Structure 1
């Protein structure tokens, strides 16, 4: 088996640093249709705590995948949406879903 040099693995580590985390890909999935408010995201993501949602949104925002828009309304409304860079993750998300479906079928059919 050929060995990979560390420079070949670096892009994989970089990608994992951005999308890893239990909730990051599900958040991206929720935002692929339209921007959502924090409470709307919470409603779509069963069992996520507000703290975890805030942390993951912040990390995704820092990495340029999610944008945060504060609307000048009363009360203030904050919406989160995917950036152009965030949309570049969608093919990866689709492949992960396809693999997950195949893997589940593989496990159930033995």
Structure 2
């Protein structure tokens, strides 16, 4: 991985493009709540209240705001059941699933980081 970073840093044009790409990624999945929401939905919580209950500390207002933003970024899909006028479910899109490997790598890195910091 450091070879790739060295390549980016040695070429100012690439560096600018890479920084922009990182900023775009952070914009879409960054923040305190987006990854926990994605995790909740991927673990089977489809209804608003199920998602809300599965994420300690999130407010109703914040969940609503984040779901709308994630829908605009095509990470989730809001599906209204035509048989029930007030039944809404949220589902992850294929596009959302495309960064599953990134999430798994973040989990792996987080575990390694914790070990390193604790000196284990």
Q: TM-score, normalised by structure 2?
A: 0.82
Greater helix share, 1 or 2? 2
Alignment equivalent of 1:2, drawn from 10, 17, 21: 10
Alignment equivalent of 2:22, drawn from 12, 35, 43: 12
Alignment equivalent of 1:61, drawn from 54, 66, 71: 71
Q: Are 1:70 and 2:86 counterparts?
A: no
Q: CA RMSD in A?
A: 1.8
Contact 2:45 2:51 in 1 (8 A): no
Report which of the two structures shows the higher radius of gyration computed on alpha carbons. 2
Give the number of the structure with larger relative contact order, counting CA–CA contacts within 8 Å between residues 6 or more apart.
1
Aligned residue number for residue 85 of structure 1: 95
Structure 2 unaligned spans of 5+: 1-8
Q: Secondary structure at the match of 1:80?
A: strand
Structure 1 unaligned spans of 5+: none
What is the total number of aligned residue pairs between the two structures?
110
Which region of structure 1 is more displaced relative to structure 2, 67-76 or 88-97?
67-76
Greater strand share, 1 or 2? 1
The runs of at least 4 consecutive aligned structure 1 residues that moved more than 2 Å come to: 1-5, 72-75
Q: Are 1:96 and 2:109 counterparts?
A: no
TM-superposed deviation, 1:62: 0.4
